[in-house]
Amino acid sequence: MPKVSIIIPAYEAAAYVAEAIQSALAQTWPDKEVIVVDDGSSDATAAIAASIPGVTCLRQANAGVSHARNTGVRHSSGELVAFLDADDVWHPGKLEAQVRLLERYPDCDLVYSNFVEIPESLASPGRPGGDGLPRHTRTTDLESSFFHPFFGTSTVVVRRAAFDRVGGFDESLPYAEDVDFFLKVLVGRPATAMIDAAVVYKRDVQGSLSHDSASGYAKLLEVYRRIFATHPALEANHPGMASRSYANLHSRHAASLVRNGKRMDGLRSALRSMQERPSLPAVVGIGRACLPGFLLRAAKRAKLAMER
């Protein structure tokens, strides 16, 4: 029985899946299995995955990434589960560093790493330094994790017991299924560990939250509301946590809208953030939405000049 099961959901990923698989197979942690779940691709994704020795390739009718991840875990046997999207790439030392952190911190159910976004061409992440366990942090601060649970699925290793406890990924969510999963894990045991090294290279995919999807932020709000509704002890033990979470989301959305030229929409989101909970980011968001574009550009140029 392997220590770690690596789950790679793949859909129309023929251009990238081989690189993802090879980066999983090249991990310095030896006790692992690699499972690719082809989610009804019409291209050569499944054939490529099946042709690589040491890989289990499963096929299913197209049902979405959450269903594919859950299918992979159901067919796995590892004590730990690591997720790798088919268009992302791992550094060879990534998995070993995370396994050793989970061994060091038995109160952590989830460990993640930094990542860097890359264009479609492949590059090599920075190598973990020191004694093989790179600089890392551990936290039990539930609120900070709740405000920023955007770990990136390809960076995460989770204990199988925690995955089973929360029921895996919610297959009804077209967006924010990863955040929903992470929040449910954190509700059970808030301790997390993070590797302070970019050991994952993540390709920038159109339609993700990094592209400021309005639907994505709407789903995030839905996810948070459901979490607080189903776990009333959260607000009881952390008064004001819900309003701070909603204000943070509206503020983030406002900033993304302004960056994409949707200033009136950004203003509305910043005002909603202020209604939830007045904060400096919300005030800044209102200012950015109201200031003329040339002043914003001048302020940005001045900031860059001061940082040189």
Where in the chain are the domains? Answer: 4-203, 209-307
Closest CA to 200 of 106, 108, 134: 134
Give the model's confidence band at 144: pLDDT under 50 very low, under 70 low, under 90 confident, else very high.
Answer: confident
Closest CA to 76 of 178, 1, 157, 171: 1
Q: Report pLDDT for 142.
A: 87
Give the model's confidence band at 212: pLDDT under 50 very low, under 70 low, under 90 confident, else very high.
Answer: very low
Phi-psi region of 152 (alpha: psi -120 to 50; beta: other; left: phi over 0): left
CB 100 within 8 A of CB 132: yes
Burial label for 290, CB within 10 Å (0-12, 13-18, 19+), is middle
In sequence order, the 6+-apart residues with CB closer than 8 A to the CB of 58 are: 35, 36, 37, 38, 71, 72, 75
- SS3 of residue 245 by DSSP: helix
Cα separation, 12 vs 39, whole angstroms: 8
Q: Report pLDDT for 136.
A: 87
- SS3 of residue 41 by DSSP: coil
Q: In this prediction, what percent of the chain has a pLDDT beyond 70?
A: 81
Give the model's confidence band at 298: pLDDT under 50 very low, under 70 low, under 90 confident, else very high.
Answer: low
User: Which tokens in the block code for residue 25?
Assistant: 């197979």
More confidently predicted of 294 and 54: 54
The CATH number of 209-307 is 1.25.40
Give kind and range of the element (H or E) at residue 81.
strand 80-83
Domains 4-203 and 209-307 share a fold: no
Q: What is the pTM of this model?
A: 0.84
Q: Report pLDDT for 28.
A: 93
Cα separation, 116 vs 200, whole angstroms: 7
Query: Which whole number is the average pLDDT over 33-55?
Result: 97
CB 107 within 8 A of CB 186: no
What type of residue sits at position 44? Answer: A
Question: How many CB atoms lie under 10 A from the CB of residue 146?
Answer: 24
Q: Residue 45 pLDDT > 70, yes or no?
A: yes
User: Which tokens in the block code for residue 14?
Assistant: 């023929």
Q: Residue 305 pLDDT > 60, yes or no?
A: no
CATH fit for domain 4-203, picks 3.30.450.20, 3.90.550.10, 3.40.50.2030, 3.30.230.10:
3.90.550.10
Share of the chain residues as helix, strand and coil, in percent rounded to the nearest 5: 50, 20, 35
| Crossing angle of the two packed helices 214-230 and 177-188, in degrees rounded to 10 | 20
Q: Report pLDDT for 241.
A: 87
First to last CA, the chain: 53
Q: Residue 134 pLDDT > 80, yes or no?
A: no
User: Please, what is the average pLDDT of the chain?
Assistant: 84
The answer to which of 9-23, 53-67, 219-233 has the lowest mean pLDDT is 219-233
Cα separation, 94 vs 219, whole angstroms: 30
User: Which tokens in the block code for residue 4?
Assistant: 């770690």
Cα separation, 113 vs 195, whole angstroms: 4
